[in-house]
A and B are shown apart, each in its own frame.
Chain A
């Protein structure tokens, strides 16, 4: 069988079934996760086979179009998700990463017309995927940490605080901050290749830096004062507001007139 986009519905269906079955097994109250692991990695193997086959069929790495990019998301997200789960045992990370991967497969199924969407030359780089993947993952972790923070604030004002909650937020922030740092640095290394300089204070860079600064303050504050909850919780909530400004808000700010990061025009 030659692997082309025509066989994609079959591969994505097999993948989705394997991953969903694995998630069901992970959630059974059972210590033996071997079967779950096997199904999960068979899913990743199916995705690998499709990408490899498409690569051979196209005669070039499938890195050019948006549809092809989504394939890589669907490939890498479950891997990073599993590594995070293996290390930290947060089951929701698996649900999140598989859910997002399946969503990307679904978009590819429903919008075949986007397979050949144009991709401007500056984005055609091996850095594109690692840069975006680590950001997606970082935002997911930091988003989760802000949910924890909101729960913490609610509890705090209801006078029923639980120390364990902030420790969970801390771990999520550490993982998310690590990926955020990688995203910034990969972006800098890519910018050197694409635009001639690693840092130009482009509005998107500036807001990414501000996001990084906000979480840096949280991390240092928590390190020094593990017992002072209120300020920590508010810092974490504010940090997420800065993150959202970076993600969605930049294009609407007066400073964005000259951004090289707006790809919509």
Chain B
């Protein structure tokens, strides 16, 4: 370590770590100054086709600079490990702020908002660090292409894969559209909202034929009477009512389900199975205190948008309740018409988007107030024309990762010594 630290003055070639960290620190300081002095962040939203022009230009610039000046000590340094470590560290350092602070607009300006740490990915320091990183990574890739060595393919899969992924993901973010659309059963909808709430007319129209929710069975749990919080606080113990006669222990109580009604209505102090909108689950339970042997029997229900919930007061401190059933699966049965004249029927489900004309339709949410009776389904509509380019990079890196696992480090050590 000491040899290059003491003997060589700063900026005397060949450059190494000290120059790398001065460059990184310089970029960080300029970025922070720009961020602090401007009231808002940069607005470099290069949309199509400007991003394509910029991306092509940047790539051509790196290649031609490398072809012309690859013997230049600065270019050599940029393609080497010390510069790359400094650029990786700079990105890492900036992303740490992203990792600690919530990324959301704040009402009152603080040191955090002034330096842009609440919107890191659109701040100047982040932009500078990514550009610096892309330059070092680009040259590092070019170093192994010109001249090409046969054993470089693992290296290139990783380095160029990352480069392609980052370039297309950053440039493509300006063309990314993520919109939401509220669908109502039986109605045709063609207006969507962007993240600012602006209404956008879409080149496709969607009709919700049916919205369906499968639910898990509800759970029995114990809450404190004063605060109504599930007990034990932080790690509530619950009993999933998975069959009509299940038994289990919650805190100091042995709880036994005597009968269960999936769609019930309260009639004369008990619950009867009915086939009505808004009928909620209910269970007749027996709770026995493990210490006092006290036995309490009664009905619990989580209620619904039409029905009051019902609980059993076990003692002055706690009550037995039923939690609202969690969704197991929700899906929208839709009919889609596009401006291009296509017509399609599809079932959109979480994790199972539907794609048509470059748009992807995702099941996002529903009106939780109504639970499984929700007449509304919210879908997300996404268009990301740069996705294929991103995936080229991602799959290069997947193969690169397999290569790393297989090849390990051994060979490198032997060849270096």
Report yes or no: B240 in contact with A118, Cβ–Cβ below 8 A.
yes
Stretch at the interface among B52-60, B94-102, B252-260, B275-283: B94-102
**Known interface pairs A87-B406, A185-B397, A196-B178; A210-B82 also in contact (CB < 8 Å):** no
Q: Chain A residues near B89 (CB, 8 Å)?
A: 217
CA distance A213 to B241 in the complex (A): 45
CA distance A209 to B351 in the complex (A): 23
Report yes or no: B404 in contact with A181, Cβ–Cβ below 8 A.
yes
Interface residues of A in 191-239 (CB under 8 A from B): 192-199, 201, 203, 206-207, 209-210, 213-214, 216-217, 220-224, 226, 228, 231
Q: Chain A residues near B99 (CB, 8 Å)?
A: 203, 206-207, 210, 245, 253, 255
Q: Chain B residues near A245 (CB, 8 Å)?
A: 99
Report yes or no: A201 in contact with B102, Cβ–Cβ below 8 A.
no
Q: Does B408 contact A (CB under 8 A)?
A: yes
Interface hub of B95, B329, B408 (most chain A Cβ within 10 A): B408
**Known interface pairs A171-B409, A181-B397, A197-B384; A223-B81 also in contact (CB < 8 Å):** yes
Q: Chain B residues near A254 (CB, 8 Å)?
A: 100-102
CA distance A220 to B189 in the complex (A): 53
Report yes or no: B409 in contact with A194, Cβ–Cβ below 8 A.
no
Interface of chain A, main secondary structure: helix
CA distance A206 to B94 in the complex (A): 11
Stretch at the interface among A4-12, A93-101, A119-127, A154-162: A119-127
Q: Chain B residues near A213 (CB, 8 Å)?
A: 88, 91-92, 95
Q: Chain A residues near B405 (CB, 8 Å)?
A: 174-175, 178-179
Return the CB mask of A48-75 against B: 1 if under 8 Å, else 0: 0000000000000000000000000000
Q: Chain A residues near B380 (CB, 8 Å)?
A: 196
Q: Does B330 contact A (CB under 8 A)?
A: yes
CA distance A223 to B80 in the complex (A): 11
**Known interface pairs A124-B329, A194-B350, A228-B1; A178-B401 also in contact (CB < 8 Å):** yes
Interface residues of B in 374-411 (CB under 8 A from A): 380, 382, 384, 387, 390, 394, 397-398, 400-410
CA distance A121 to B328 in the complex (A): 6
In the complex, the chain B residue whose C-beta lies closest to that of A202 is: B103
Report yes or no: B169 in contact with A199, Cβ–Cβ below 8 A.
yes
Report yes or no: B100 in contact with A253, Cβ–Cβ below 8 A.
yes
Q: Chain A residues near B417 (CB, 8 Å)?
A: 226
CA distance A185 to B169 in the complex (A): 14
Report yes or no: A201 in contact with B121, Cβ–Cβ below 8 A.
yes
Report yes or no: A167 in contact with B92, Cβ–Cβ below 8 A.
no
Q: Does B327 contact A (CB under 8 A)?
A: yes
CA distance A171 to B413 in the complex (A): 10
Q: Chain A residues near B178 (CB, 8 Å)?
A: 196-197
Q: Chain B residues near A181 (CB, 8 Å)?
A: 397-398, 400-401, 404
Contact of A209 among B95, B240, B330, B408 (CB under 8 A): B95
Shortest beta-carbon distance, B135 to chain A, in Å?
16
Q: Does B298 contact A (CB under 8 A)?
A: no
Report yes or no: A117 in contact with B240, Cβ–Cβ below 8 A.
yes
Q: Chain B residues near A203 (CB, 8 Å)?
A: 99
CA distance A117 to B272 in the complex (A): 27
Report yes or no: A125 in contact with B351, Cβ–Cβ below 8 A.
yes
In the complex, the chain A residue whose C-beta lies closest to that of B240 is: A116
Contact of B401 among A119, A182, A197, A199 (CB under 8 A): A182
Q: Chain A residues near B408 (CB, 8 Å)?
A: 87-88, 170-171, 174-175
Q: Does A113 contact B (CB under 8 A)?
A: yes
Report yes or no: B88 in contact with A217, Cβ–Cβ below 8 A.
yes
CA distance A170 to B410 in the complex (A): 8
**Known interface pairs A117-B240, A181-B401, A214-B92; A258-B102 also in contact (CB < 8 Å):** yes
Q: Chain A residues near B402 (CB, 8 Å)?
A: 178, 182
Q: Does B367 contact A (CB under 8 A)?
A: no
Q: Chain B residues near A210 (CB, 8 Å)?
A: 92, 95-96, 99
Shortest beta-carbon distance, B293 to chain A, in Å?
24
Q: Chain B residues near A119 (CB, 8 Å)?
A: 328
Q: How many residues of A contact B (CB 8 A)?
A: 58
Interface residues of A in 96-120 (CB under 8 A from B): 113, 116-120
Report yes or no: B240 in contact with A217, Cβ–Cβ below 8 A.
no
Contact of B85 among A120, A125, A217 (CB under 8 A): A217
**Known interface pairs A118-B326, A217-B85, A253-B100; A185-B409 also in contact (CB < 8 Å):** no
Q: Chain B residues near A19 (CB, 8 Å)?
A: none
Q: Does B343 contact A (CB under 8 A)?
A: no
Q: Does A188 contact B (CB under 8 A)?
A: yes
Q: Does A177 contact B (CB under 8 A)?
A: yes
Report yes or no: A121 in contact with B329, Cβ–Cβ below 8 A.
yes
CA distance A87 to B408 in the complex (A): 10
Report yes or no: B394 in contact with A189, Cβ–Cβ below 8 A.
yes
Shortest beta-carbon distance, A188 to chain B, in Å?
7
Report yes or no: B406 in contact with A124, Cβ–Cβ below 8 A.
no
Q: Does B412 contact A (CB under 8 A)?
A: yes
CA distance A119 to B351 in the complex (A): 13
Interface hub of B242, B387, B390, B409 (most chain A Cβ within 10 A): B409
In the complex, the chain B residue whose C-beta lies closest to that of A214 is: B92
CA distance A244 to B161 in the complex (A): 27
CA distance A221 to B88 in the complex (A): 11
Shortest beta-carbon distance, A187 to chain B, in Å?
11
Q: Assuming A125-B351, A198-B390, what are 18 further A-B pairs, CB within 8 angstroms?
A: A118-B240, A118-B326, A118-B328, A119-B328, A121-B350, A124-B351, A175-B405, A181-B401, A185-B398, A196-B178, A197-B382, A210-B92, A213-B88, A223-B412, A254-B102, A255-B99, A255-B100, A255-B103
| Interfacial residues, chain A to chain B (CB-CB below 8 A) | 87-88, 113, 116-122, 124-125, 167, 170-171, 173-175, 177-179, 181-182, 185, 188-189, 192-199, 201, 203, 206-207, 209-210, 213-214, 216-217, 220-224, 226, 228, 231, 245, 253-255, 257-258
23 CB contacts below 8 A, A to B, read A113-B240, A117-B240, A118-B216, A120-B327, A121-B330, A121-B349, A178-B403, A178-B405, A185-B394, A185-B401, A189-B394, A195-B362, A196-B380, A197-B384, A198-B169, A198-B394, A206-B98, A210-B92, A214-B92, A217-B89, A220-B85, A221-B81, A257-B102
